[in-house]
Structure 1
Amino acid sequence: MRAGEMGGMTRLPRFLPADLDPAQRELYDAITGGPRASGPQAVPLADDEGRLAGPFNAMLVAPPLGQALQGVGAAVRYGTTLSDRVREMAVLAVAGRWDCDFERYAHEPLALRAGVTAEQVTALREPRVPDLADDTECAALTVVVALLRDGDVDDAAYADAVAAVGTRVVFELTTLVGYYATLALQLRVFRVTTPTGTGSG
């Protein structure tokens, strides 16, 4: 185990695959062999020596909890009805709330690839609902920003969101906000940096 450059952590070592115990290895294989390995990504899951990047290295510290957390993350990324645009905008809003450079680094390219404009990305850094032509996207982002601002969605906004996107999407959005907020806090506490050395808040 040793610290690495890509996404290097100052409070945790970067775990080498050869040093992992069986529970850690099972989690490592679930992360690197799951949908993340074939899905779109702006940041490689691991460096040339196989050390996990970003929040995934920290998950190896507590494999049972890490397994559950990575499972929720995979479901949020690949098992919801959220469009790519809404999902990536919601992630960037969370990154804006927690000033999480790593989440921005990992997800801004995905958002741009999904058609989110640079102006919309800037709005999400505040975070606020960007100018959106699509009413369903606006309703979804209104829920996300309310959760980040107030920790709740008032009755009027909830009714509007359910009418526009449905109860399932509201549930998916609350789960996404909670998951990426958890990652943002872990990235902050463990001082995870981007490959360029930028901190996570």
Structure 2
Amino acid sequence: MSRLPPLLAEEMTAEQARAHHDIVSGPRGGIAGPLSIWVRIPALADHAQKLGAYCRFGTKLRGDLRELAILITGKHLRSGFEWWAHERIALSEGLDPAIIAAVKDDLPIPDDLPEMRAMYDFCSELLRTNRISGVSYRIAQDLFGTEQLIEIVAVVGYYSLICHTINAFEVPVPPDEQDPFP
């Protein structure tokens, strides 16, 4: 059980109820994970969910590449709920199960998949060192261009916020699911 269980409707202030409604009526269609935490502070929920909607639904990144960046972030931060939530989405976006397994097991992405390899290297390096080397930057810049590089960093940053929220408040995977990082 999470350190902060979801607020019941009768416990919400008018602003919390509005923020909750805005989230559930948006593209997510529900409220779970960090959003159930953030809704306690409506202004945070408003801003975070708008950034999240952009990172998830508005970038120019292909869905499989976006989900790869999210899984890399979830794995690095050992966020079981986030991995659980996005592994399914990654599969539905066409991310190869072998690549998902490689990320989970800390195995390199094959060189014959240059976009996947560049995404893995770029995100992993950013999360591991908080910087990007010149070599990694040039490779990613050549493959993705400036706009998508900015979006990749935004996705990693936003999902880091999500993972830290999940980890700090111990948001568990659903009861009938297994935590990938116990």
| Same fold? TM cut 0.5 | yes
* Correspondent of 1:59 among 38, 58, 78: 38
Contact 2:70 2:155 in 1 (8 A): yes
State the SS of the aligned residue for 1:184: helix
Q: Distance in 1 between matches of 2:34 and 2:101?
A: 24
Residue 4 of structure 1: aligned partner: none
State the SS of the aligned residue for 1:36: coil
State the SS of the aligned residue for 2:82: helix
Task: Tell me the TM-score normalised to structure 1 length.
Answer: 0.82
Q: Distance in 2 between matches of 1:182 and 1:196?
A: 23
Residue 68 of structure 2: aligned partner: 89
Task: Tell me the TM-score normalised to structure 2 length.
Answer: 0.89
Distance verdict in 2 for CA 1:113–1:83, change over 3 Å: same
Cα RMSD over matched residues? 1.9
Contact 2:4 2:37 in 1 (8 A): yes
Distance verdict in 2 for CA 1:132–1:81, change over 3 Å: farther
Identify unmatched segments of 5+ residues in structure 1. Answer: 1-7, 38-44, 46-51
Deviates most, 117-126 or 182-191: 117-126
Residue 99 of structure 1: aligned partner: 78
The number of equivalent residue pairs is 180
* Correspondent of 2:21 among 24, 29, 39: 29
Residue 128 of structure 2: aligned partner: 149
Deviation for aligned residue 1:128 = 5.2
Q: Distance in 2 between matches of 1:25 and 1:132?
A: 49
Distance verdict in 2 for CA 1:31–1:190, change over 3 Å: same
Percent identical among aligned pairs is 28
Greater fraction of residues in helix: 2
Residue 161 of structure 1: aligned partner: 140
Identify unmatched segments of 5+ residues in structure 2. Answer: none
Please list the CA deviations of residues 136-181 of structure 1 after superposition, one character each: whole Å capped at 9, or x if unmatched.
3332332111111211111121122111110111110111111111
Distance verdict in 2 for CA 1:57–1:148, change over 3 Å: same
Contact 1:96 1:126 in 2 (8 A): no
Deviates most, 108-117 or 169-178: 108-117
Contact 1:162 1:170 in 2 (8 A): yes
* Correspondent of 1:116 among 85, 95, 98: 95
Please list the CA deviations of residues 16-67 of structure 1 after superposition, one character each: whole Å capped at 9, or x if unmatched.
2333212112211221111222xxxxxxx2xxxxxx3211110112111121
Contact 1:102 1:194 in 2 (8 A): yes
Which residue identity lines up with residue 35 of structure 1 in the other structure?
A: P
Contact 1:93 1:126 in 2 (8 A): no
Which gives a bigger RCO, structure 1 or 2 (Cα 8 Å, sep 6+)? 2
Residue 40 of structure 1: aligned partner: none
Deviation for aligned residue 1:129 = 4.6
Moved over 6 A (4+): none
Which residue identity lines up with residue 6 of structure 2 in the other structure?
A: R
